[in-house]
Amino acid sequence: MNKKKSLFEYRKSLKDWHYNPSIKSVDYTYVGRFIGIEKYINIIEWPEMTSGVSFPVEGKKVDKFSFPELQKQDNKRWGYTPESTRKYHLFDNIPNKFLEIGELTGLSDYSVSLLKQPPGATNPWHYDTHFALGQKTNSTEEYLEKNSRRYLIMLEDWHWGHFIQIGNNVLSQWKAGDIFTWPFGMWHTSANAGIEPKLTMQVTGLITENSLHKLSTFKIKV
């Protein structure tokens, strides 16, 4: 990595995207909608609230030029704090109904997580490495870049102050069950500057011929 000090600047040097905020590019795909998903929200048992991202630990011996450490340094340099990035993130004990919905995505080796972002919280500008999927399937980042996908599923209708930005596109006014996806490595962020929690679901796995983003836009009752 040639001793880069910023993951973002390093990725820009690879020219894997235009990195120009003035360009009106389309950097995500609307996949379809799971109708009725919102009625299962009340079965979620949320964990304790934690910081949504990591930050450098003073005095800890680490490879400060590794991707994870560079992202931590970017988070700190940009002014984020554990308090400003707090969220509820459920990885384990996912209710069966949400696992069943994950099965409908057509991804293999998939995992499901559920997120609740409270008012005032942000998720800094970042890209997903699908690290857990790589460990589970013994896959390299190069393989995941071409063969993995994450679906973002909205659990409730959009509310004031909720937004997600994917590349140069800002999403709002979604409906419960709407599904979005984007290419591996695409930078994105989200925030809740509103008055109600923002609830989302993520399904991450390997692409198959039945993966939803390869099909026509659809609506499925769940």
Strand order of the β-sheet with 169-171 is 122-126, 188-192, 162-166, 169-171
pLDDT at position 59 is 61
Q: What is the DSSP letter of 205?
A: E
For range 210-222, the mean pLDDT: 90
pLDDT by residue (tens digit) across 41-94?
A: 999 999 999 987 788 776 665 565 577 788 888 999 999 999 999 999 999 999
Does residue 139 carry a pLDDT above 70? yes
- pLDDT tens track for 189-213: 999 999 999 999 999 999 999 999 9
Report the mean per-residue pLDDT for the chain.
93
Annotate 184-195 with three-state secondary structure: CCCCEEEEECCC
Q: Which residue segments constitute the domains of the chain, with CATH numbers given? A: 25-49+86-221 (2.60.120.10)
- For position 3, what pLDDT does the model report? 57
| Alpha-carbon gap, residue 59 to 39, rounded angstroms | 47
Mean predicted confidence (pLDDT) in 94-119: 97
Are 85 and 126 in contact, with CB atoms under 8 Å apart?
no
Three-state secondary-structure class, residue 41 = helix
Per-residue pLDDT for 132 more than 80? yes
Query: Residue-wise over 93-113: b if at least 16 C-beta within 10 A, else e?
Result: ebbeebeebbeebbbeebbbb
Per-residue pLDDT band for 155 (boundaries 50, 70, 90) equals very high
In one-letter notation, the amino acid at residue 50 is: T
Q: In a 10 Å sphere around its CB, with 0-12 CB exposed, 13-18 middle and 19+ buried, how is residue 39 labelled? A: exposed
CA gap 179, 171 in Å, rounded: 12
